[in-house]
Amino acid sequence: MLGRLFGGATAYPKGEGVWLDKGQDTEHGGKLLFDEPVVIQSYTSTKVILAEKDALRAFLVRLGSGAKQAAVGFVIDRDYMEIQFDPEGNALT
């Protein structure tokens, strides 16, 4: 998808990560959870991002829902953003 939208993308091997689950009503609320995130990098312009923003969001939502993630984080020009998901995989933001 990112190859079609932005002309290319590179996925880095799985890393080792840890994050604090801040949810108070989940089974892991308040605990540190360890995972193996995959980082994908793609270079493009603001003009292309704006033109493809709906397709990009749809891709990120499919990615998060399909992988049963609590959130999918992304960075555009050093600004971190994320789409959060409820336990059923519905996007909250």
Residue by residue, pLDDT tens for the chain (93 residues) are: 999 999 999 999 888 999 887 765 566 567 888 988 889 999 999 999 999 999 999 999 999 999 888 889 999 999 999 999 988 889 997
The pTM score is: 0.79
Predicted local confidence at residue 28, as pLDDT: 59
By the 10 Å C-beta count (0-12 exposed, 13-18 middle, 19+ buried), 56 is classed as: buried
How far is residue 31 CA from its own chain's centroid? 21
Q: Using alpha carbons only, what angle is made at residue 39 by residues 11 and 55, rounded to the nearest 5 degrees?
A: 80
Residues 6+ apart with CB under 8 A from 42: 2, 6, 8, 9, 10
